[in-house]
Amino acid sequence: MGRRRSIGFVAAVISLTVVAAAFGAGPWPGLAVNLTAPDGTVRYAAKAVGSSTNVTAVRVSTGRVLHRARVAGVFGIPAVTLNGTAGGLSVDGRRLILAPPPNYDATPSAETRFVVLSTATLRPVRTIVLRGDFGFDALSPDARTLYLIQHRSTADASYAVRAFDLRTGKLLPRTIVDKSEADQTMRGFPVARATSADGTWVYTLYRRDNETPFVHALNTRGRYAVCVDLPRMVADEWIWSAALDLTDGGAHLVARLATDANAFVIDTQTLRVVG
């Protein structure tokens, strides 16, 4: 299968997911198959069986099961992009977040549950119950702040980024927005992600209908975000195959859209497009 045909196939598959999400509760990427720790040594998986979920931690090099547990309720490893990029693991590797399956019903869910596991045992250390429809977004390096996507409407792909304090067990009242934006309503679908080495910054590339793509730069320590609009429209067949990479020791964020000729470069200090 040629590269262009492969890109078209991926775009078609993801487009079906987008259509489903658009008629559901928002840009919720759903669940990932599994999640590998940043150092590549351990792979986590969660599979729902009936009304419970089997969670495993496996040594990648040998395939040996390190831990196994069963969690009450139906959960999975959260995806953070529509191409299945997995999230949910803290930078220090001590905490793993399990998320519920996506909601594609006509109305948003009235309640959402998340489970926080200790990776040392895979036993729950906290169950989070929220009123409303939420999806996983990110986790701060100290595993204190859980960032969530709140789906407010089924009419379009609009949402809000919220912060949940894992120490106090409280959902913070304010939304995490770019205060320089006149319209603080978020819209779009996540197609690529990159995270700084220390987990402070989480960068997500979003595709928007009939508008230029943008990068949502979330500071997970400071609980604030900046939106960086890319300077021109990108054809859908390129945006679905996009990748985000941090280069020059994290000084630059490169959005690669299938070919180097379609790349954008963002200065991570100023959060401006420089190339």
- pLDDT per residue as tens digits for the range 65-115: 999 999 999 999 999 998 889 999 999 899 999 999 987 766 778 899 999
Proportion of the chain in helix, strand, coil states, percent, rounded to 5: 10, 50, 40
Q: Give the per-residue pLDDT at 16.
A: 37
Q: Give the per-residue pLDDT at 27.
A: 55
Q: Give the per-residue pLDDT at 262.
A: 73
Q: Give the per-residue pLDDT at 180.
A: 67
Q: Give the per-residue pLDDT at 13.
A: 40
Task: Please name which of 189, 203, 119, 131 lies closest in space to residue 158, comparing C-alpha atoms.
Answer: 189
List beta partners, residue 42: 59
Task: Please name which of 261, 227, 262, 263 lies closest in space to residue 245, comparing C-alpha atoms.
Answer: 263
pTM recorded for the entire structure: 0.87
Q: Give the per-residue pLDDT at 209.
A: 81
CA distance 52 to 198: 33
